Amino acid sequence: MAEYPPFAVTVDLVVLTVRQDALCILLIRRGIPPYHGRWALPGGFVGFDEDLADAAARELTEETGVPEAVGHLEQLGTYGTPGRDPRGRVVTVAYLALLPDLPPPVAGTDAAAADWLPVSRIAEAQLAFDHDVILAAGLERARAKLEYTPLATAFCPPEFTIARLRTVYETVWSSQLDPRNFHRKVTGTPGFVEPAGRVTEGDRGRPAQLYRRGSADLLHPPMLRPSLTRS
Amino acid sequence: MAEYPPFAVTVDLVVLTVRQDALCILLIRRGIPPYHGRWALPGGFVGFDEDLADAAARELTEETGVPEAVGHLEQLGTYGTPGRDPRGRVVTVAYLALLPDLPPPVAGTDAAAADWLPVSRIAEAQLAFDHDVILAAGLERARAKLEYTPLATAFCPPEFTIARLRTVYETVWSSQLDPRNFHRKVTGTPGFVEPAGRVTEGDRGRPAQLYRRGSADLLHPPMLRPSLTRS
DNA sequence: TGAATAGTGTCTCTCAGACAATATCCA
DNA sequence: TGGATATTGTCTGAGAGACACTATTCA
């Protein structure tokens, strides 16, 4: 292998959550060059004896403190254009994480600060490296996956109401959904959710049934984005 | 960067085509260790100043001789489990290529032989490395993408009949489709195909209109796999 | 003419979307 | 009681699947 050019391999994370009716992403403010002071995706180098998915899970836990079983983590794509990192030839494997709303993150060792930012305000943020491209891919992946998988439940706590699930869809898709049709569709899609047997308390209005994530990993029929329905 | 572990980065290709009503994949028989004599995905090391997609396109052209504009090439996923390559720490970025039927491939420099194998017979083939996992991912990606994109046209020559497009779907999905409903659906989906204005000649039966790929890159409504319709 | 394939029309069933109506809580 | 939210029911239109029927070629 000595005759082949050495690459550095990193993982970067697009960590999304829904908080206060806004789709938010976990970013760190870089404390070291390059891009010192800029917002960037959390991430880091892959250990020589470490699997890629393990490295992503490790970084996610380091940055957020969430146990690995919570939420959802999947590979998003790999970015390796020469020159994307001024330090050398760095190929990064991007992962997408979907998490329920969490307490504020702890700053990692190489981060001056870490915080949730609404994705609607990312345009002003001037992300480091090619992280704007990676983020865009993560957002589109998340929006698409809500259509045909039950991954919206990854944004929710273990038990949640249909209305909570609906706000997840509305937030990620930036569109309003009819509460009545949504309710019928979710409960009518086999394996999407299953009743927890309990109800909410203390809110305004009629108490809502609580549900847990179901066993399906593919939705039939899928939930369709209103914006794409018109052809 | 000197303090970070050096990786080798390769690209591997899942190259699919439809020939003689069988879904086939381009494989090379390895002429050098490791896995000497085994079938493997075509691929190779990424140049130090080369973009990942460029490396994939280069390998594809080297192995098949097709111009880059023909067919479809997209990133599939990245595989980097330690130990997946006995030569060292190799991370491979897999790409998926969909091509029209082509003349037999030319053997590359590091391949004792290259040939199209029906995917139905891959189980016996004992692929090298973790290429069976990568192939499985490529097949599932291809099957899924036929549902909501016009990529079935990538398996066809520039001008094709609806029946030809239908055999592509039937071959990739391993299921029979009603010719009449298929015709109505394809021609009724805006941007999927556009008439070329010519018809076939010399075949049995009524001549068929020829079509070209349309401008859409997403199908609304999508084509749905019969096997998944039942829920 | 008959076999073969291309393409159209029709029917039914399911489902998405609009929205009325009912249920059950809190103030 | 009135406001708010949850949940169910009804209607309509679009589209999928089944399949009869017509169109056009070759042998």
The tens digit of pLDDT for each residue in A20-37 reads: 899 999 999 998 999 999
Q: Which residue of B has its CA nearest to A46?
A: B5
Question: How far apart are alpha carbons A53 and B60 in whole angstroms?
Answer: 28
Nearest Cβ partner of A52 from B49, B78, B190?
B78
Amino acid identity, residue A132? D
Among partner residues B1, B75, B229, which is closest to A77 by beta-carbon distance? B75
pLDDT at B112: 52
Residue B187 Cβ under 7 A from any strand C atom: yes
Domain A151-229, architecture per CATH: Orthogonal Bundle (1.10)
DSSP string, A146-176: HHHSSGGGGGS-SSB-HHHHHHHHHHHHTS-
Q: A8-144 — its CATH code?
A: 3.90.79.10
Look up residue A117 and give its two tokens: 């930012």
- Cβ–Cβ under 8 Å, residues B93 and B78: yes
Q: Report if CB A203 to strand C is under 7 Å.
A: yes
For residue A17, what are the β-bridge partners?
Answer: A24, A99
Q: How many CB atoms lie within 10 A of CB B12?
A: 23
Domains of chain B by residue range? 8-147, 151-229
Mean pLDDT of chain B: 91
- Quick one: A134 exposed, middle or buried, by C-beta within 10 A (0-12, 13-18, 19+)? buried
Q: Which residue among A47, A78, A87 places its CB closest to the CB of B52?
A: A78
Q: Which chain B residue lies closest to A7 (C-alpha atoms)?
A: B7
Q: Tell if A196 CB is < 7 Å from nucleic strand D.
A: no
Query: Does B152 score more than 60 pLDDT?
Result: yes
The segments of chain A whose pLDDT lies below 70 read 1-3, 103-112, 227-231
Residue B116 burial (C-beta neighbours within 10 Å; 0-12, 13-18, 19+) = buried
Q: What's the CA gap between A145 and A141, in Å, rounded?
A: 6
Domain B8-147 sits in CATH at 3.90.79.10
Q: In this structure, is the CB of residue A206 within 7 Å of any atom belonging to strand C?
A: yes
Alpha-carbon span B71 to B65, nearest angstrom: 12
Written as six digits, the tokens of A81 are: 């254009």
Question: By CA distance, what is B49's nearest residue in A?
Answer: A82
pLDDT digits (tens, 9 = 90+) for B70-106: 999 999 999 999 999 999 999 999 999 999 997 665 5
Residue at B10: amino acid letter:
T
Over residues B47-57, the mean pLDDT reads 97
Residues of chain B contacting A56 with CB distance shorter than 8 Å: none
Task: Name the residue closest to the C1' of D2 by its CA.
Answer: A205
Calculate how close chain B gets to A51, using CA atoms only, in Å.
5
CA triplet B93, B95, B101: central angle to 5 degrees?
155
